[in-house]
A and B are shown apart, each in its own frame.
Chain A
Amino acid sequence: DTEVTQTPKHLVMGMTNKKSLKCEQHMGHRAMYWYKQKAKKPPELMFVYSYEKLSINESVPSRFSPECPNSSLLNLHLHALQPEDSALYLCASSQELGSSGANVLTFGAGSRLTVL
């Protein structure tokens, strides 16, 4: 069982819909991440929160909007997505951001998104 929980596991949405992906961890980790992964490609970093503040935004389009309500929760709000945004969205957490010994990532099982 993964210690990072993501919901929903699968999501199908139209280009005009608004939906959210949710992620939760109870390991006391202070860094949380969103990654996007396409088939046969490595995970691609989107956002990083450290101590509930946005630390890294990899120039992600504004139709993706992250939110970190508290140290255990991370959301990704989706609006007006395109079919090419269909992918596996992975949440991850680590003890800290940037410290070499403490940034081992624990991934959630992912949310598989299909945009019609």
Chain B
Amino acid sequence: RKEVEQDPGPFNVPEGATVAFNCTYSNSASQSFFWYRQDCRKEPKLLMSVYSSGNEDGRFTAQLNRASQYISLLIRDSKLSDSATYLCVVNVYNQGGKLIFGQGTELSVKP
């Protein structure tokens, strides 16, 4: 089983749709959690950190469920510019600070 698993993509949605991505992690010692966004042929960029109480940034909402060991990302009112690959990233305390990347979920928002 992979340490960090994400929904398989691609997700093809119309503009204005709400889309949710899930990510599960296997190591209960995981400490910190992030969503990164990567555009085609570009570097990954931090979209948001994920906090225990959940957090929101505009149209984006991230949730963490430690009991079930999953993280989610909700995008409301999708824009064409949201088309990208979304990477779930987990920091595991007992792996020397190594950040573990999920495989990524590709989102394509269509007009």
A55 and B49 contact, CB distance less than 8 A: no
List, in ascending order, chain B residues with CB within 8 A of A55's CB.
Answer: 96-97
Residue A32 at the B interface, CB < 8 A? no
Interface positions of B from 1 to 51, Cβ below 8 Å from A? 31-32, 34, 36, 42-46, 49
Report the separation of the CA atoms of residues A100 and B97 in the bound assembly, to the nearest whole angstrom.
Answer: 8
A98 and B43 contact, CB distance less than 8 A: no
Residue A76 at the B interface, CB < 8 A? no
- Choose among A45, A100, A106, A110 the residue that contacts B98 (Cβ–Cβ < 8 A): A45
- B: interface residue count bin: 20 to 34
* Least distance between A11 CB and chain B CB atoms (Å): 15
From DSSP, what is the main secondary structure of chain A's interface residues?
loop
From DSSP, what is the main secondary structure of chain B's interface residues?
strand
Report the separation of the CA atoms of residues A38 and B96 in the bound assembly, to the nearest whole angstrom.
Answer: 24
A56 and B98 contact, CB distance less than 8 A: yes
Say whether, besides A43-B101, A97-B97, A103 and B91 are in contact (CB < 8 Å): yes
List, in ascending order, chain B residues with CB within 8 A of A100's CB.
Answer: 31-32, 91, 93
* Least distance between A107 CB and chain B CB atoms (Å): 4
List, in ascending order, chain B residues with CB within 8 A of A106's CB.
Answer: 46
Residue A90 at the B interface, CB < 8 A? yes
Q: Chain A: residues with CB nearer than 8 A to chain B? A: 2, 31, 41-45, 48, 50, 55-56, 90, 96-101, 103-110
